[in-house]
Amino acid sequence: MYLQSYPIDCKSFMRKLYFFFCFFLILFPLRISAQNYTSKPKLVVGIVIDQMRYDYLYRFAERYGEGGFKRLLNGGFNCRNAHYNYVPTETAPGHASIYTGATPSMHGIIANNWFENGADMYCVQDTTVKTVGSETPNGMMSPKNLIATTITDQLKLATNQRSKVIAISIKDRGAILPAGHFADAAYWYDRMNGRFVSSSFYMKELPKWVQDFNNLKLPDKFLSQTWNTLLPIQNYSISTADDTPYEAPFQGKDKPTFPYNLAELSEKMRKSPMKVPPYDMLTCTPFGNTLVKEMALRALEFEKLGKTEGVTDFLAISFSSTDIVGHAFGTNSIELQDTYIRLDRDLAQLLEYFDKEVGEGNYLLFLTADHAATEVPNYLKDLGMTAGYISTKGIRQKIEDYLTQRYGEGRWILEMDDKQIYLNRHLINSKNLVLSEIQKQVAEITLQQEGIAYTFTATQLKEQYYGDGIGQFVQNGFFPKKSGDVIMVPQAHWLSDYWKKGTSHGTPYSYDTHIPLLFYGWQIKKGSTIERIYITDIAPTIATLLNIQFPSNCTGNPIEDLFD
């Protein structure tokens, strides 16, 4: 009877159902969108591997386990064509560019060292601060030379300082530049005593957990061991022979061959006339990376990173021993391959611990490198490639002779390395000479020397715009108050004659610029891109994922393929 009294109007019902369905479709995406605005990872992990070439991801892959590099490759997003876009490609500007999203022309860290106000300047030196955790001067460091904010700075600003930011590395610059200006702490390794130290810029004393970690004396434990290959040496066939003329043997050892008795070598280095710091030996082995990993695990545990209520924390880790081993033994050595196989296991332990303490899917991780490296030039020469070594002293002498002969006696060059020439501007002014003309003459003389491909004057770089090519790389690395009067660019596969054994980096060529860039974890889809991406794109990508402001001097762009 009830139904008969109130019969259903099918058309009206269907119309209401249709409008309800449309309303639901509109509302549902808005609800999801609103969730995206407020959701955030509990922890961001930035991993920088010093001197890692892109091809190491694959060249050594057969010996990697499933939990380290392969896990990131198989479950993350791989930027296969990521490059640096400036010179020099060195550790300090590399770390600064990763975290600021800017080139040296914008953030001011133009090299590891430069010449400024008549004196040598180290990238993070600061005489106004003191070492914390040691009696040595190795903690008199800060980010004062970095004139841009970092992505870690922006995270602290966005959360009213509630986010925790911790940075750890063997190298002081590998910790300080990622940490930025507002970090809770940056820790690095004091080679004089084997302890992690910091600076009064960050704190008055080391936290108890850091003191306890130092008291474990892990460097002593590592240096009491023998470094032998992790796997049977015949499994390293992708590398050159164990004993080659292209490697620099450790001081106190005749040949660059396994095994390495670290206790014996450490003792010889300590007693050498070169005054090598007592605990320096550890940095030249893969165990330097393992020490950093152990320190990072302690920081995660005792600082409770990833557990700060309602905000995202940040852990910046830089593995430096890969660079030191690479410099000594070259890119094709068994020593380097063994270092990466061991680092792969360290990464696997880190990822497993992040899963346990923060939760899989709750942390956002990126892995990259501060630069790559060339093969040993003499090795390439023996294979028939045009390569060689530049005599910096020889070039300097020719410039001094020319200017003395033409303009009279004087110290015409104040400072010079294999990349920059700083002229004596006071002398030039005192002789009523035109600086730009002297720069031009020096550039022309330098260009005539063996192994030099390009030269640029400071006047050119200030007055002209280079939209592409080598000129753009040089201009992106040029900062008028810090850079030299003449910038040199070597030919491909030419290094300073300081590196006649082992290898180095610093050029605009792909062997130095092409580095790995992997994203993994929170809201990161599995995939890859072959689009050309620059190192300056990392910071704005992280900022976009976190919905926070880009670093102040950022010139990079978010990686679009990561958001598709």
Rounded distance, CA 53 to CA 374, Å? Answer: 9
Rounded distance, CA 233 to CA 253, Å? Answer: 19
- For residue 6, give both structure tokens: 């109130």
Count the residues in the chain: 564
**Conformation bin of residue 281: beta by default, left when phi > 0, alpha when psi is -120 to 50:** alpha
- The 3-state DSSP class for residue 413 equals strand
Report the DSSP beta bridge partners of residue 520: 365
Q: Which of 197, 193, 215 is nearest to 279 (CA)?
A: 193
Q: State yes or no: cis peptide before 558, omega within 30 of 0.
A: no
> Within 10 A of 13 (CB to CB), how many other CB atoms are there?
10
Q: What single-letter amino acid sits at 335? A: E
Give the N- to C-terminal CA distance of the chain in Å, as an integer.
57
3-state helix, strand, coil in the chain (%, to 5): 40, 15, 40
Catalytic residue among 91, 240, 374, 536: 91
Residue pointed to by tokens 């300081």: 498
Is 41 within 8 Å of 312 (Cβ atoms)? yes
* Cα–Cα separations (whole angstroms), residue 339 to 176, 208, 228, 321, 345: 24, 31, 11, 8, 10
Active site residue 283: no
Is 375 within 8 Å of 331 (Cβ atoms)? yes
Q: Which of 317, 306, 311 is nearest to 357 (CA)?
A: 306
Is 209 within 8 Å of 289 (Cβ atoms)? no
Q: State yes or no: cis peptide before 508, omega within 30 of 0.
A: no
Rounded distance, CA 17 to CA 315, Å? Answer: 51
Q: Which of 427, 520, 447, 458 is nearest to 70 (CA)?
A: 520
* Cα–Cα separations (whole angstroms), residue 348 to 48, 352, 517: 15, 6, 17
Please list the active-site residues: 91
